[in-house]
Amino acid sequence: MIFVDAWLLITIILGFAMAWAIGANDAANSMSTAVGAKAITPKQAVLIAGVLEFTGAYFFGKSVTETIRKGILYPDKITDPQVLIYGSVAALLAATLWLIIATKFGLPVSTTHSIIGGIAGYGIVYAGMSVVNWGKMTQVVLSWILSPIIGAIMAYLVFKALTRSIFRSSNPVRSARLWSPFWIGLAFVVIGTMFYIKVLHGKDLKTGVLMYGIPVGFVVFLVTYSLIRLRFPSSDPFIGVESIFRKVQVITSGYVALAHGANDVANAIGPVAAVYAVASMGMAGMKVPVPRWILALGGLGIAVGVATYGYRVMETVGKKITELTNTRGFTIDFSAATVVLVASWLGLPISTTHTVVGAVIGIGLARGVKAINTDIVRDIVISWFVTVPVAGVISAALFKFLMFVG
């Protein structure tokens, strides 16, 4: 029992480190477009993201987490508690190391893919290739391709529609007063529905749309329409529209941070929960209640990660891929949220990180290929394709070492 308790402490420390790495890399995505479009300063982004990521993780993080994350390994092939403990430690450490390396170079990678790679790596070393659910792994690979492409197409179409309905109309000020509330209301229909599904973990899309999405979107539409009718921010429609969307973008980015904390905290605390299960109940059951203090640990780690190291990825996504304005940043948030919502409903494998980056690229493409920094895009795509194998190799090596010395 002393052995298990000691490894539980080590896993808790590594879980915090993983949460910190998630904050530094993945959570920074939530605020990158707002920073890039100058809706908020980097310091304000750190504060907002830190508070909302922690809130999402602690209050809305799933209270039950799979001990063998994401169904990547067949559980009946791993029945030794020591293997599960060493594997969880190896996967956490491997994913954390890869995220730190990626963040150092400002590369936005998927934390989910990182931990999946780590889990697959130790599983293959222990029980061979048959231990891996290759159907699930195929979905992961598919998400590398689907996410950025769908995100780019969606952002491209939304941005074209938004600019045509407002900026290119015969009377831009009148069009801005009419269409801005529509686009903002539509975004909040998606956000309201996403809150029900992603944050409250609701299952029924129809309930989400009717009970949350449409009411929230309608109220926001009425409020925005009333405010714009009373006082349009500027006689210049371009300045006026950007001013309206600057305020809205802070809210949409804040929602992304809240939802991210609620969902991705599991990537850090999943392995911790697995070891906690062994420490408290042995190998009983595939699911284990996660104490609030573990959720708090994950939320705190994410918040600290955003505050201390998140600026690197924020700079890449918000500034280096293409130039962003407030309407472009709003379009990215709206498009990414819509794609993730529809994908969740259809059961398609979609990476939020990849979708956001794809949406940024789509915005650039709407203004021509020359508006995109292709060198940065190339580096990001390469980092996506090496995430699972690199995390897997590191995890496999660490697992072998731990089994050898243990």
Nearest to 22 by CA among 98, 91, 89, 73: 98
* pLDDT tens digits, one per residue of 221-243: 999 989 888 787 877 878 888 88
Nearest 5°: phi and psi at 287? -125, 150
Answer yes or no: are the C-beta atoms of 343 and 134 closer than 8 Å: no
Q: What is the mean pLDDT of the chain?
A: 86
Q: What is the pLDDT of residues 314-331, one digit of tens each?
A: 889 888 999 999 999 999
Q: 54, 98 in Cβ contact below 8 A? A: no
pLDDT in tens, 45-70: 888 888 988 988 888 776 555 544 45
Nearest to 137 by CA among 288, 349, 399: 349
pLDDT band at 380 (very low <50, low <70, confident <90, very high): very high
**268, 309, 272, 273: which is closest to 288 by C-alpha?**
273
Strands 64-66 and 287-289: antiparallel
Q: By C-alpha distance, which of 78, 80, 75, 110 is closest to 95? A: 110
What pLDDT, on a 0 to 100 scale, did the predictor assign at position 139?
83
Average of per-residue pLDDT across 132-141: 87
Distance CA 26, CA 108 (A): 7
Cβ within 8 Å of residue 392, ≥6 positions away: 94, 117, 118, 120, 121, 124
Q: 106: which 2 tokens?
A: 């400002």
Percent of the chain with pLDDT over 70: 93
Q: Which residue has the higher pLDDT, 380 or 200?
A: 380
Which residue in this structure is represented by tokens 């391709």? 145
Give the model's pLDDT for residue 76.
81
Q: How confident is the model at residue 123 (pLDDT cuts 50, 70, 90)?
A: very high
Given this model, what pLDDT does residue 42 score? 86
Q: Quickly state the pLDDT bin for 131 (edges 50, 70, 90).
A: very high
Alpha-helix residue ranges (DSSP H) falling in 231-371: 237-281, 292-309, 311-315, 326-346, 352-365
Q: Among 47-51, 311-315, 341-345, 373-377, where is mean pLDDT lowest? A: 341-345
pLDDT at 220 over 80: yes
Output the CA angle 305-309-312, nearest 5 degrees: 130
Mean pLDDT of 387-397: 96
**pLDDT at position 68, please?**
47
Written as six digits, the tokens of 6 are 């000691």
CA distance 181 to 178: 6
pLDDT (0 to 100) of residue 174 = 83
> Does 287 score more than 70 pLDDT?
no
* Residue the block writes with tokens 């794609």: 339
Most confident of 62-71, 84-93, 344-353: 84-93
The phi-psi region of residue 155 (left if phi > 0; otherwise alpha if psi is between -120 and 50; otherwise beta) is alpha
What was the pLDDT predicted at 125? 95
pLDDT in tens, 148-197: 999 999 999 999 998 899 888 888 878 888 898 999 999 899 889 988 88
The dihedrals phi and psi of 307, each to the nearest 5 degrees, come to -70, -35
Other C-beta atoms closer than 10 Å to the C-beta of 47 total: 16
**Model pTM score:** 0.85
**Residue 79 confidence class, pLDDT cut points 50, 70, 90:** confident
Residue 178: its H or E element: helix 172-194
| pLDDT bucket at 104, cuts 50 / 70 / 90 | very high
**Percent of the chain residues past pLDDT 90, beyond the cut:** 35
pLDDT at res. 62: 67
pLDDT greater than 60 at residue 25: yes
User: pLDDT-based confidence at 381, cuts 50/70/90?
Assistant: very high
Alpha-carbon gap, residue 163 to 168, rounded angstroms: 6
> What are the tokens at 12?
């808790």
Answer yes or no: are the C-beta atoms of 118 and 92 closer than 8 Å. Answer: yes
Pair of tokens at residue 90? 């190896």
More confident call, 344 vs 339: 339
Distance, CA of 246 to CA of 252 (rounded, Å): 10
Does residue 216 surpass a pLDDT of 50?
yes
pLDDT for res 204? 86
- Which residues, listed in sequence order, are joined to residue 175 by a DSSP beta bridge? none
